[in-house]
């Protein structure tokens, strides 16, 4: 009878010696909500390869979503909420399957394949009153001429397009 009691007391003392982790503080509510108007495979081009995978396409859209949320949280004033719906996405570059079999999953970025993003947005205040809304067709035919320090980011052209739009659309009043 003493053995089960001994095991129980050892178990209790081991549990008591473990560090106690405080619950992670709740994240502040995001000021930006990003929605998609259709399934990933229905956009013009969010492919991750010549033979696109559903998971890869969703991950590509998720990268744009995360960027919009992060950048929007920096630009949108407290008490306001921005809802962005991506209605069309065409990533910069394309897959040129005619080049070589081993290049099927290499996105070739040239001037003739500019990034294109269509979106709808609504900016509201804390009471839900619409401050600004609209539809935008974002294009940058000179995207290859811009300098970028993020040369290893595969979405640098699309992020620059979104950043330019957000800075011009939501610039702080002086």
- Give the integer Cα–Cα distance in Å for 90 and 96: 15
Has residue 63 got a pLDDT over 50? yes
Higher pLDDT, 55 or 37: 37
* Dist. CA 95–CA 47, nearest whole Å: 9
Reading phi first (left if > 0) and then psi (alpha if -120 to 50, else beta), residue 25 is in beta
pLDDT the model gives residue 67: 95
Mean of the per-residue pLDDT values for the chain? 81
Share of the chain above pLDDT 90, in %: 44
E strand map for 49-114 = 81-90, 94-95, 107-108
- Digit-coded pLDDT (tens) for 130-159: 999 999 999 999 888 887 667 788 899 999
- pLDDT, residue 70, reads 94
Q: What is this structure's pTM?
A: 0.76
Residues forming beta bridges with residue 127, ordered by sequence position: none
Residues 6+ away with beta carbon under 8 Å from 41 = 52, 54, 57
């Amino acid at each position: 009878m003493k053995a089960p009691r001994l095991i129980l007391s050892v178990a209790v003392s081991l549990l008591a010696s473990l560090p106690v982790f405080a619950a992670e503080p709740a994240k502040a509510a995001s000021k930006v909500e990003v929605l998609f108007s259709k399934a990933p495979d229905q956009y013009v081009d969010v492919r991750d390869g010549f033979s696109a995978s559903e998971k890869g396409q969703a991950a590509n859209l998720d990268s744009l979503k995360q960027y919009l949320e992060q950048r929007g949280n920096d630009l949108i004033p407290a008490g306001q909420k921005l809802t962005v719906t991506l209605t069309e996405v065409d990533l910069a570059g394309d897959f040129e399957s005619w080049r070589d079999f081993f290049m099927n999953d290499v996105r070739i970025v040239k001037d003739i394949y500019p990034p294109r993003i269509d979106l709808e947005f609504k900016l509201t205040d804390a009471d839900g009153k619409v401050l600004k809304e609209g539809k935008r067709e974002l294009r940058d035919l000179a995207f290859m001429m811009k300098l970028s320090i993020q040369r290893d980011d595969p979405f640098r052209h699309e992020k620059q397009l979104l950043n330019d739009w957000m800075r011009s659309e939501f610039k702080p009043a002086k």
